[in-house]
């Protein structure tokens, strides 16, 4: 999540009640979670296991619960509860704004765009030209749609990320991280009925130009989908995943979190993707393998009863 303008680290420290150390005269440009951090970002960490990963990431400023070694160019913001500090920053820059009408007065809607009855459009949404938004679509706050976008009935754009801070030493084990990111849908995208595209936790979930989705597709938080992809019904993609250009996912493909799929990969129906895949190949199975290898394997599996019968009669 980018701030409206750079914010001084000293001001952030005052907001969250932190002790600032290091490059405290610098300014932060945004706040992000570890999978998406960029230079100028704040990130939080509350477990020693992840200190090194966060401190040595692209993030310039680290909200942390104890002092540890860090580069001179960066700053630490030391607080007892880094997660709660993160939540406070997100709530300050993206406060909850109750809806008072079906289409917010702050929404910007381009020329030639059709908005059907019973559509809900939240605060600070931008929709481009010549779009078609069918009945019962929900587009929540801060989302951005390009030109010539088609969204079929019942789809939800910008629901909260399924992303929780987990600690089993408290009464409530799973506490939702505030979702400060957006969904950005580029030009010429078509989205089927009853799909859900979650906003980023702190970055943007992005759907690239020309991508087409069938019904009942789910895209998790912070996922980036390339241009001209094709997703069939009931595809599910977990959070912070990167899908290249021209990728085809056939029906009921499941893709795990924080991985990447290369350009022009094709994944056949009902396959499961647990790890990153090279582009320009066809995959099948769960877990996926090269489709030609997997199909030969299935042929041999079918022959097992025949082979076993022959073995039994050997003397």
State yes or no: is 47 an active-site residue. no
Q: State how far the Cα of 202 lies from the Cα of 64, in Å rounded to an integer.
A: 18
CB atoms within 10 A of CB 11: 10
CA 71 to chain centre: 29
Residue 256 has what DSSP assignment? -
Note the helical H segments in 56-197.
Answer: 82-93
Tokens of 160: 């909260």
- Active-site residue, from 123, 142, 221, 313: 221
Nearest to 131 by CA among 88, 75, 180, 186: 186
Encode burial over 188-220: b for 16+ CB neighbours within 10 A, e otherwise: bbbbbbbbbbbbbbbbbbbbbbbbebbbbbbbb
* Residue spans of beta strands (DSSP E) within 61-141: 61-64, 75-78, 108-109, 114-115, 120-121, 126-127, 132-133, 138-139
Residues 6+ apart with CB under 8 A from 2: 29, 30
Nearest to 94 by CA among 70, 134, 123, 72: 123
Q: State how far the Cα of 117 lies from the Cα of 162, in Å rounded to an integer.
A: 29
Q: State how far the Cα of 132 lies from the Cα of 16, in Å rounded to an integer.
A: 43
Q: State how far the Cα of 106 lies from the Cα of 141, in Å rounded to an integer.
A: 10
Catalytic residues: 221
């Amino acid at each position: 999540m980018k701030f409206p303008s750079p914010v001084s680290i000293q001001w952030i420290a005052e907001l969250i009640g932190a002790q600032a150390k290091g490059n405290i005269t610098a300014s932060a440009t945004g706040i992000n979670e570890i999978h998406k951090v960029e230079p100028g970002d704040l990130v939080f960490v509350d477990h020693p296991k992840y200190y090194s990963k966060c401190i040595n990431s692209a993030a310039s400023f680290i909200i942390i619960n104890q002092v540890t070694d860090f580069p001179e160019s960066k700053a630490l913001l030391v607080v007892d509860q880094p997660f709660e500090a993160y939540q406070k920053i997100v709530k300050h820059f993206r406060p909850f704004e109750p809806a008072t009408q079906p289409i917010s007065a702050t929404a910007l809607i381009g020329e030639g765009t059709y908005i059907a009855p019973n559509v809900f459009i939240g605060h600070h949404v931008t929709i481009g030209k010549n779009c078609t938004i069918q009945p019962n679509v929900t587009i929540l706050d801060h989302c951005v749609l390009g030109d010539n976008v088609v969204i079929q009935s019942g789809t939800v754009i910008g629901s909260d990320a399924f992303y929780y801070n987990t600690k089993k030493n408290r009464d409530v084990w799973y506490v939702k991280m505030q979702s400060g990111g957006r969904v950005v849908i580029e030009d010429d995208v078509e989205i089927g009925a009853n799909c859900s595209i979650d906003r980023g936790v702190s970055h943007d979930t992005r759907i690239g130009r020309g991508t087409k989705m069938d019904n009942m597709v789910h895209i998790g938080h912070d996922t980036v989908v390339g241009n001209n992809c094709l997703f069939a019904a009931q595809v599910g993609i977990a959070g912070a995943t990167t899908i290249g250009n021209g990728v085809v996912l056939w029906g009921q493909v499941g893709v795990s979190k924080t991985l990447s799929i290369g350009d022009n990969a094709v994944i056949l129906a009902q396959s499961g993707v647990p790890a990153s895949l090279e582009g320009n190949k066809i995959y099948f199975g769960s877990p996926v393998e090269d489709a030609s290898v997997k199909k030969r394997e299935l042929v041999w599996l079918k022959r097992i009863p025949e082979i076993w019968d022959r073995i039994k009669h050997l003397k």
